[in-house]
């Protein structure tokens, strides 16, 4: 079982970026926790972050060749990107949308997601545990 954890724009700044919203863990801290959890669940976890929409699309296309599932936090592209939605539809492997913050308790523009309808599920508002729960759901099938 191979799981791809994909992080979108600005998530490289976790730890210092609005910690009251996104928590104090860095991206490396989160990735390490997920790799550790993957070991416990018998899943190999590969992580990638990009600030670029096209690079995220390329990574999703590539995942089609090797991943059994994707945990994806598209950051701000969640609310805008038809191209990411199309990429998720095209790859035909389960993708779970995750957000650190509770997007529904924030500005109205964050309530809309371009990708939710083409994802297997969605988890928001639980900090890094949003990722952990998504990983567990994919690993346990
Ligand atoms: C986010 C929520 C988005 O609205 C925001 O643009 C982000 C992070 C989250 O994890 O809570 O960059 O995806």
Q: What are phi and psi of 120, to 5 degrees?
A: -70, -35
Q: Positive or negative, the Cα torsion across 68, 74, 79, 80?
A: negative
Kindly report the CATH class assigned to 2-140: alpha beta
**Residue 22 annotated among the catalytic residues of the structure:** yes
For the chain, which residues make up each domain, given as ranges?
Answer: 2-140
Q: Which residue has the tokens 């309808």?
A: 117
Q: Which of 101, 96, 52 shows the shortest CA–CA distance to 77?
A: 52
101 C-beta closer than 6 A to ligand 1: yes
Q: What is the pLDDT of residues 22-36, one digit of tens each?
A: 999 999 999 999 999
Q: Tell me how far apart the alpha carbons of residues 17 and 137 are, in angstroms, rounded to a whole number.
A: 28
Q: Which residues contact 112 (CB under 8 A, 6 or more apart)?
A: 79
**Marked catalytic residue, from 7, 77, 99, 131:** 99
10 C-beta closer than 6 A to ligand 1: yes
- The pLDDT of residue 105 is 97
76 C-beta closer than 6 A to ligand 1: yes
> Residue 17 pLDDT > 90, yes or no?
no
Measured in Å, residue 98 CA sits from the centre of ligand 1 at 9
Provide the token pair at 115: 């990708």
- The pLDDT of residue 100 is 98
């Amino acid at each position: 079982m191979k799981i791809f954890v994909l992080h979108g724009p600005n998530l490289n700044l976790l730890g210092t970026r609005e910690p009251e919203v996104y928590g104090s863990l860095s991206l490396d801290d989160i990735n390490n926790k997920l790799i550790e959890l993957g070991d416990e669940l018998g899943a190999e976890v590969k992580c990638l972050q990009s600030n670029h929409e096209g690079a995220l699309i390329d990574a999703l296309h590539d995942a089609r060749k090797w991943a059994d599932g994707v945990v994806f936090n598209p950051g701000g592209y969640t609310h805008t990107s038809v191209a990411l939605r199309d990429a998720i539809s095209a790859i035909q492997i389960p993708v779970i949308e995750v957000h650190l913050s509770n997007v529904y308790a924030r500005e109205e523009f964050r309530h809309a997601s371009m990708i939710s309808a083409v994802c297997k599920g969605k988890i928001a508002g639980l900090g890094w545990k949003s990722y952990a729960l998504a990983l567990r759901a994919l690993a346990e099938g």
